[in-house]
């Protein structure tokens, strides 16, 4: 979301389920190795291969229906 939207980092933080911008930023930095702001500034949009896009849009069998 940080790379593909112009939404504020605070909005992205809330969208992914964090209540605290500080916690989001600290967790993001621990996982990615840089702050959300630095990540956004240093990376362009993600280019996802077509096969991955197709796999993610393919209907899935509901495992609970047997």
- 62 inside domain: no
Q: What total number of domains does the chain contain?
A: 1
- 25 inside domain: yes
- 3 inside domain: no
CA 20, CA 58: separation in Å to the nearest integer? Answer: 34
- 14 inside domain: yes
Domain containing residue 29: 9-57
- 18 inside domain: yes
Instruction: Classify residue 36 as exposed, middle or buried by CB count within 10 Å of its CB (0-12, 13-18, 19+).
Output: buried
Q: In this predicted structure, what is the pLDDT of residue 43?
A: 67
User: Cβ–Cβ contacts within 10 Å for residue 5, how many?
Assistant: 12
Tens-digit pLDDT profile for the chain (66 aa)?
887 888 999 999 999 999 999 999 999 999 888 899 988 888 655 566 778 777 777 777 766 655
- 46 inside domain: yes
- 4 inside domain: no
């Amino acid at each position: 979301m940080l790379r593909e939207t112009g939404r504020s980092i605070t909005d992205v933080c809330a969208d992914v389920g964090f209540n605290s911008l500080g916690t989001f930023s600290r967790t993001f930095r621990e996982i990615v190795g840089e702050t959300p702001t630095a990540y956004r500034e240093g990376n362009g949009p993600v280019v996802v291969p077509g096969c991955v896009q197709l796999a993610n849009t393919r209907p899935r069998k509901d495992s609970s229906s047997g």
